[in-house]
Amino acid sequence: MTDFDELLPAFVEESQQHLQVIEPDLLALEKSGENVDPDTVNRIFRGVHSIKGASGFFGFQNIGRLSHVMENSLSLLRDNKIPLTTPLIDALLSGVDALKSMLEDISGSESFDIDSEIAFLKGLIDENAEAPKTVAVYKKPADHQTTGTVPAQFHVPRSEIRRLVEAGQNLYAVKIYLNEDLRKRGRTPYDFINNMETTGEFIDSFLDVESVSGLSDCLENELAFDFLFATDLTPGTIPHALDLPGDRVTVIDLGAVEGKEGKEGTEGQRDRGTEGQRDRGTKAGNEGASEVPGKKEPEGRGRGRGRGHVQAEEKIRVGVNFLNELVNLAGELVLGRNQLLQAALPLVKSTPGLNPVLQHISRVTTEMQEKIMQMRMQPLAIVFDKFQRVVRDLAKKHYKEIRLVASGGDVELDKTIIEGLSDPLTHLVRNAVDHGIESPGDREKAGKPRYGTITLKAFHQGGQVHLTIVDDGRGVDPDFVAGKAVEKGIISREAAAGMSAKDRTRLIFRPGFSTAKEITDLSGRGVGMDVVLTNIEGMGGTADLESAPGQGSTVTLVLPLTLAIVSGLMIESGGQFFILPEVDIDELVRVKPDEIGERIDAVRNAWVLRLRDVLLPLVDLNRLLGLTEPGAGTDLTDRDDPLRIIVVKQGGIRFGLVVDRIVNTEEIVVKPLPRYLKRMACFSGVSILGNGKVSLILDVAGIVKKTAIRRLETIDEEAERAGEQEEGAVAAEVQTLLIFDNDTPERFALPLELISRIEKVSASRIERIKDKQFLQYQGEKLRLVFLEDHLPVTRPERSPDDTIGLIVPKGMAHPMGIVFKEVINTAMAAVELDTASIMAPGLFGAAVIDDRITLLPDMYRLFEMAAPEWYRTEQAPGGVEKKAPRILLAEDTPFFRMVEKDYLASAGYEVLAAENGRQALQILEEEPVDAVILDIVMPKMTGWEVIAAIRSDPRLEKLPVMAVTSLGNEGDLSVVEKGYEAGFDEWELKLNKTRLLEKLAGMLRSAGAKGESS
Amino acid sequence: MTRQIATFHLGETLMGIDILMVKEINRQVNISPIPDAPPQLRGLMNLRGRVVTVIDLNVCLNRSPTGNIDAARLLILKTREDIQDFVADGQLEDMAVGEDIVGFVIDRMDDVATVEEDEILPPPPNVADIGEDLIRGVIKRGNRLIILLDVAAVLEDVMAAGK
């Protein structure tokens, strides 16, 4: 190992740290405009200066030359010799860039072409001011170890000398030897310079490179460096302050140097005493504090040096590898602790004193692990800071005016996450600049300030970090996005039409989507929002986009604080344990054997789960991982134990994972996948469980890929469409029907969305009370309704040994169930209801489904007939003398429209029917109505949009409006809540006649009361 | 230079690797199989908190998989980091063995053979059934032949498996 090898990394690292501070400072300077902040200029100056100085050590002439020119222009700026202009900032920034690239490839730095950067800066200096006159202050004596050295001189700008004299500084030439003074004592050049800067000001350094023929030569010889050092310390104290032998310091008579110029020499001398005194005062207590780059310190230019008054917290550098090892060990310790607790728990009672010890160890372990995890935490500012520059450059290039406001830079995240955030955030910020913010002209036309604002904000919430990227630009047009998505074949036109504006906006996250109309320099370089989403989800986070067209958009990222410890669900499949990260999990579904036929279906050879309104693709983990016995059936429906399904989501795709058993949740320490397993798509890492076994962590993204994402997507699309069709949103006439029989030739069908559950029970469990039949079910007495008792159908032979089926509908005040025999099928069909040929109370009518005549029972009417004591039909308020209340009914499914209209008419209402939201609004424009009943999911305009329009119209503000929908059933109160917030007066499920009429009447009464009192 | 070779039995063959490469010999305990993995990968094991990838050497050498894995031993290798000091001292050539701990499934250990560098002969064209590229050389010990395994090459093959 050579001297240079040891010192070089420190030089590069510290120089980079300086540059990290210089760049934002330059940008701040540009923003401040006319009012140049001298402190900022000084800080930049010092940073550049330090780089220049240290580069001298290593003989990096290019870095030295460039930083020298930058330093010169900064000193001119400081002295108000040149004005602060955009070209100057540009030139300095390009200098910073060049320094950065040279530092990245330090060994090749001499071959960099920095002429243009230097010329750029020089041009600006020469244009604005004369080149600073320098004066030779010190003849470098010949080196004592190398012979034949050409003596050299330090050249210092005259203004600098004058400044020093005015500040009452002494100037010294200091010589140090690389081996003797630095390396042997474990110091780096920066340490030395930093130390120097605590007591004075380092002016320049010099490495006599001409005396050595090359690097190899200088490695063997002792290298000497010469420094020029200004301080108010007296000559006698310098060796002590710099920790050097006394013969290394030569005093330079500043008066004499100044005198060479023949100006102000005596005046300078006279001031010296008092200034020096003052400086000594401010310096007290600061000796030895090392400079931390980036620490904001006030520095007055008159004082020559002004060290910060804050003592820097002591810090040491630790390698990341070392830290990672510590993190791993901490994880092990936690595991060991858990095992210990498990093993020791039975002994606690019989061993006095054991419990406190265990608890103590447990607590200390937890705390230690937390602290160790904290060591990996880094502030978001690391990522945020670079965006000032990115935004500035991009905005300039595109003639936009953009302000970037960042807050929450002090929020800390795990290093891995910080690193992983860089790319997605850059993309989002670039997107905001490129697509979000309009040109100044367009903005003014739109009545916005010329300046666009991009806000980056980070904050803690619920143990996670939220990060928002907000711009006040043109926003995202959901229709444009949807159009694009359809054009690119990402979704079908029908699916797009049925989506809410928000969901349409979110299509931007779909793979293969990019809104850039053409590939620009900024974004759309093949990485789209889908990559952003994948990256963020890969780190266990989520991404969402909200946008108000014309007003801007907000991207919200939610991220975990750390990656190393995650909460996971332990599952068993094929006799093995696996971990599924909890962030990937949406919900757990258990399908009982008798529901399997009902809820599990095959769509084009792929299994799907019917979950509420959508079909979810299913992945059988056993099959995916080859854990099934060869030859075992792949039919998921062919089983007699419940099916356990974990609904997971990844990159906008949701699917169900079929597993054998769900064990429990566990906090696990994630270890990287051994390199031999890197090819295995389904795993993302490994972990050691509490029982000491190694377990694999499932990678949901990998599973998506492995199971052929396209196919999943197509199913997803079909599922979406199916879901919408159930709601009747797209093809208004299509409904999903449950087809069943009653152990007789007749077939029956009920709309699936009205059904809450289907159960199979033994007929022997039926209990009779007089002429009523009940079944004890989940602690309730379920009243049974037999079709044959109320409808003109064949009576089946019933025996107590039978297994019967029960249909339990949604939204029942009293528990009731319809008895049937077998589920035949579910069918999506356009019901052409024939109400003429077979007509009976309790029957909507008949329809031909799957080539068979099928009866559609009127479920709620059946219940009324079976238990009239529970039902009382609320008649329309008003009487004979008053006109019947007029109701506007908006419902897109003809079947429901007909049935609901029938209910209303039978209760004495006058009904106006609309097929969609838009039509409903047209009717409202033209006709006075007393109340409105709205379906929520409708084409053209949804119920949400209609209610918004109604409530924003002063004439219709107080109109009673009721939602009648199949949304919001079974405890999903959030939708109902949302409904009330949106302005609905009532919320009711479809086809519940009694409740519909009750609520409608109540609504009209209270509206009437209000109307009379006001 | 004198080297010490740890020798072990794999089927009919006597094989060897430099003893500086050996971390420890272990009886296999609680291997978690890796579903859907290439046959070379027998599973994962917890070795005092570190994860060991258990590799079936028989499969790597183109033989049929080890049958009774419960009776087998595990030859646990050092990682590249572990051998760094030996490499620096010139006792061991640098090998791309990676930073993950691996364990080879073997039948049983034999002696440690002390050999001079020049006793290691280039592999003859067809040593038994083992591919030439997986062999560093052979050592003659009386009437026995020790086949010196090229560990890095074997591991390279394992990584490429299941493409």
CATH number, domain of A825, equals 2.40.50.180
Looking at the fold, whether A106 and A121 belong to one and the same domain comes out as yes
> For residue A269, how many C-alpha atoms fall within 13 Å in the half-sphere facing its CB?
11
Residue A712 banded pLDDT, cuts 50, 70, 90 = very low
Lowest mean pLDDT among A144-148, A214-218, A495-499: A144-148
Displacement of CA A471 from its chain's centroid (Å) = 16
Domain count, chain A: 7
Q: Give domain status of residue A241, yes or no.
A: yes
Assess whether A550 and A401 both reside in one domain.
yes
Does B21 or A626 have the greater pLDDT score? B21
Whether residue A33 is contained in a domain is answered as yes
| Residue A435 burial (CB count, 10 A) | 21
Query: Do A66 and A149 have their domain in common?
Result: no
Write phi, then psi, for B94 (nearest 5 degrees): -70, 135
Contacts of A182 (CB under 8 A, 6+ apart): A7, A176, A188, A189, A191, A192
User: 3-state SS of A40-51?
Assistant: HHHHHHHHHHHH
For B30, name the nearest residue in chain A, comparing CA atoms only: A693
Q: Express each pLDDT in A816-853 by its tens digit.
A: 888 888 877 777 666 666 666 666 777 777 777 777 78
Distance CA A148, CA A132 (A): 31
CA–chain centroid gap for A165, Å, is: 56
CA-based torsion, A694, A698, A699, A704: positive or negative: positive
Residue with tokens 């001011």: A129
Q: What is the pLDDT of residue A898?
A: 77
pLDDT value of residue B21 = 92
A250: number of Cβ within 10 Å: 17
CA distance A628 to chain B (A): 10
For chain A, how long is the longest CA-to-CA vector? 127
User: Within the 43-82 window of chain B, which residues sit less than 8 Å (CB to CB) from chain A?
Assistant: 43-46, 49, 51, 53, 55
Residues A145 and A263 in one domain: yes
Domain extent for A329: 320-375
In this structure, which topology does domain B2-160 adopt according to CATH?
A: OB fold (Dihydrolipoamide Acetyltransferase, E2P) (2.40.50)
Residue that wins the pLDDT comparison between A715 and B92: B92
Identity of the amino acid at A432: A
Q: What is the mean pLDDT of residues A563-567?
A: 70
**If pLDDT is split at 50, 70 and 90, which confidence band does A604 have?**
low
Kindly determine whether residue A676 and residue B51, on different chains, have CB atoms separated by under 8 Å. Answer: no
**SS3 category, A911:** strand
CATH number of residue A126's parent domain: 1.20.120.160
Confidence tier at B127 by pLDDT (50, 70, 90): low
Determine phi and psi for A249, rounding to 5 degrees.
-110, 130
Q: Which of A131, A147, A176 is the last residue of a domain?
A: A131
Q: Is residue A1 part of a domain?
A: yes
Q: What is the mean pLDDT of chain B?
A: 87
A733 and A838 inside one domain: yes
Is residue A727's pLDDT more than 70?
no
User: Residues A434, A547: one domain?
Assistant: yes
Tens-place pLDDT, residues A895-909: 778 778 877 887 888
Evaluate if residue B22 carries a pLDDT over 90. yes
Contact yes or no for A671 and B45 at CB 8 A: no
Contact A304, A279 (CB under 8 A): yes
Asked if pLDDT for residue B5 goes beyond 90, the answer is yes
Q: At what angle do helices A61-78 and A38-58 cross, to 10 degrees?
A: 160
User: Cβ A626–B36 below 8 Å, yes or no?
Assistant: yes
pLDDT value of position A603: 64
Give the pair of three-digit tokens for residue A40: 């900022």
Taking only Cα atoms into account, the Rg of chain B, rounded to an integer number of angstroms, comes to 15
What number is the ipTM of this complex? 0.92
d(CA A697, CA A702): 11
Closest CA to A863 of A872, A854, A852, A855: A872
A488 belongs to a structural domain: no
Do A936 and A987 contact (CB within 8 A), yes or no?
no
pLDDT exceeds cutoff 50 at A732: no
Domain boundary among A335, A354, A375: A375
Asked if B36 and A336 come within 8 Å (Cβ–Cβ), the reply is: no
Q: Are residues A693 and A737 in the same domain?
A: no
Which conformational region is residue A778 in: left (phi greater than 0), alpha (psi within -120 to 50 degrees), or beta? left
Helix ranges (H only) for A635-783 are 700-706, 709-727
Q: Which of A160-164, A476-480, A697-701 has the highest mean pLDDT?
A: A697-701
Range of lowest pLDDT (A318-332, A550-564, A710-724, B107-121)? A710-724
pLDDT value for A728: 34
Identify whether residues A698 and A747 lie together within a single domain: no
> Which residue type, as a one-letter code, is found at position A716?
D
Strands A224-231 and A200-207: antiparallel
* Min Cα separation B82/chain A (Å): 14
Interface-testing mutation among A673, A676, A684, A693, with chain B (most B C-beta atoms within 10 A): A676
Cβ separation B49–A679 shorter than 8 A: no
Query: Binning pLDDT at 50, 70 and 90, where does residue A277 land?
Result: very low
Shared-domain flag, residues A107 and A145: no
d(CA B75, CA B27): 9
| Paired tokens of A866 | 């079976």
Q: List b or e across A612-651, with b for residues whose CB sees 16 or more CB atoms inside 10 angstroms.
A: ebbbbbbbbbbbbbebbeeeeeeebbeeeeebbbbbbbbb
Q: Residue B103 is encoded by which pair of tokens? A: 């364990």
Identify the band that residue A279 occupies on the pLDDT scale cut at 50, 70 and 90: very low
Does some domain include residue A502? no
At A730 the pLDDT is 33
A696 touches chain B (CB under 8 A): yes
Contact A574 B35 (CB under 8 A): yes
pLDDT of residue A145: 42
CB A506 within 8 A of CB A545: yes
List chain B domain ranges.
2-160
Per-residue model confidence as pLDDT tens digits over A306-316:
333 444 457 78
Task: Tell me: do A405 and A542 sit in the same domain.
Answer: yes
Q: What is the pLDDT of residues A983-1004, one digit of tens each?
A: 888 888 777 777 788 888 888 8
Does residue A499 belong to any structural domain of this protein?
no
Average pLDDT of every residue of chain A:
75
Q: Give yes or no: residues A524 and A619 share one domain.
A: no
Q: Considering only residues 102 to 121 of chain B, which have any Cβ-Cβ distance to chain A shorter than 8 Å?
A: 102
Q: Looking at the structure, tell me whether residues A111 and A170 fall in a common domain.
A: no
